[in-house]
């Protein structure tokens, strides 16, 4: 695991926003889910995939033909707004995306503010405004052949795709967009993790870093709550 020489920006609002990026099939979702499970209500989770733009005006065939691996495919402005809202101590309604129909559903998921905000996605470092909101940027790096095999298994089993369609999409958009956007964004990472949650030493190091922040944030909110009560006494 490598560390970027540039230290993550320190914010004094009691929140730690952790960005976890990497190519499709890299293991970033496994790592993110592991951290979310470890910290439960102490961690809020936002997935960039849920912020794919809605395309109700297109047919299923037209939606299937879109490029979903470029920055323009996402409503990143809404994700940025939601991160800022969580950091202000308010809940958000995250959209929910359905990969089987290539479109957003009409449902949302309530995400409550928490000391740690986990943000996961392939292109979260490619947008500079979004990247600047991330206090700790983690890039999960995995061999391309392994990523392709994982993507095929996932899309065929869980997203009801055919093998032919998965391979065609990989060659036409996933691979070239990785080389254009995802790989170059790795230079912004503070930490590079080989194999994601399959790397137990790296996972425990990240969990320890987050655990220390949660302890410090508890003292931060306690101190500021005490200060607010002194400045605004009950009459």
Mean pLDDT by 10 residues, the chain (235 residues): 49 86 92 95 97 95 92 97 97 95 95 97 96 97 90 86 89 92 96 83 93 82 50 42
Q: What is the pLDDT of residue 13?
A: 73
What pLDDT does 114 receive? 95
Place of tokens 């009560």: 229
CATH of the domain at 70: 3.40.50.300
Q: Is 232 among the domain residues? A: no
CA distances from 119 to 61, 134, 194 (A): 30, 8, 18
Q: Which residues are registered as beta bridge partners of 138?
A: 20, 191
Question: Which residues lie closer than 8 Å to 177 by C-beta, 6 or more apart?
Answer: 67, 69, 70
Residue pair 46/38 in contact (Cβ under 8 Å)? The answer is no
Whether 160 maps to a domain, the answer reads yes
- Residue carrying structure tokens 């036409």: 172
In a domain, 204, yes or no: yes
**Is 12 domain-assigned?**
yes
- Residue 20, Cβ neighbours under 10 Å: how many? 29
pLDDT of residue 229: 42
Specify the pLDDT at position 216: 85
User: Does residue 235 lie within any of the structural domains?
Assistant: no
In whole angstroms, what is the distance from residue 185 CA to residue 132 CA?
A: 13
How long, in residues, is the chain? 235
Q: What is the pLDDT of residue 5?
A: 44
Tokens 């944030």 identify what position?
A: 217
So what's the pLDDT on residue 191? 95
Rounded Cα distance between 102 and 81, Å, is: 23
C-alpha distances (whole Å) from 67 to each of 1, 28, 92, 229 are 32, 21, 27, 52
Q: What's the pLDDT at 219?
A: 60
Instruction: Name every residue whose Cβ is closer than 8 Å to that of residue 152 and which is 6 or more positions away in sequence.
Output: 163, 166, 167
Beta-carbon contacts of residue 32 (< 8 Å; ≥ 6 apart): 20, 45, 47, 118, 120
Give a yes or no: residue 234 inside a domain: no
- For residue 72, tell me if it sits in a domain: yes
| Residue 6: predicted pLDDT | 43
pLDDT of residue 62: 95
Given this model, what pLDDT does residue 161 score?
Answer: 86
Q: Tell me whether residue 147 is in a domain.
A: yes
Range of the domain at 174: 2-227
Counting the structural domains of the chain, the total is 1
């Amino acid at each position: 695991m490598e560390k970027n020489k540039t230290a993550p920006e320190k914010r004094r609002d009691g929140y730690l926003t952790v960005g976890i990026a990497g190519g499709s099939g890299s293991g970033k979702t496994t790592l993110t889910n592991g951290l979310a499970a470890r910290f439960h209500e102490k961690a809020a989770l936002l997935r960039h995939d849920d912020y794919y733009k809605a395309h109700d005006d297109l047919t299923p065939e037209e939606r299937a033909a879109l490029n979903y691996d470029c920055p323009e495919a996402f409503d990143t402005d809404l994700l940025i707004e939601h991160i800022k809202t969580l950091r202000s101590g308010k809940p958000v309604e995250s959209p929910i995306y359905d990969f089987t129909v290539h479109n957003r559903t009409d449902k949302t998921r309530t995400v409550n503010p928490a000391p740690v905000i986990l943000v996961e996605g392939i292109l979260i470092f490619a947008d500079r405004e979004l990247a600047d909101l991330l206090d700790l940027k983690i890039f999960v790096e995995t061999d391309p052949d392994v990523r392709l095999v994982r993507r095929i298994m996932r899309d065929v089993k869980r997203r009801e795709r055919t093998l032919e369609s998965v391979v065609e999409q990989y060659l036409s958009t996933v691979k070239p967009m990785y080389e254009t956007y995802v790989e170059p964004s790795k230079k912004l990472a503070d930490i590079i993790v080989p194999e994601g949650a399959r790397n137990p030493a790296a996972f425990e190091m990240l969990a320890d870093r987050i655990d220390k922040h949660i302890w410090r944030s508890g003292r931060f909110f306690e101190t500021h709550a005490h200060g607010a009560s002194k400045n605004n006494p009950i009459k």
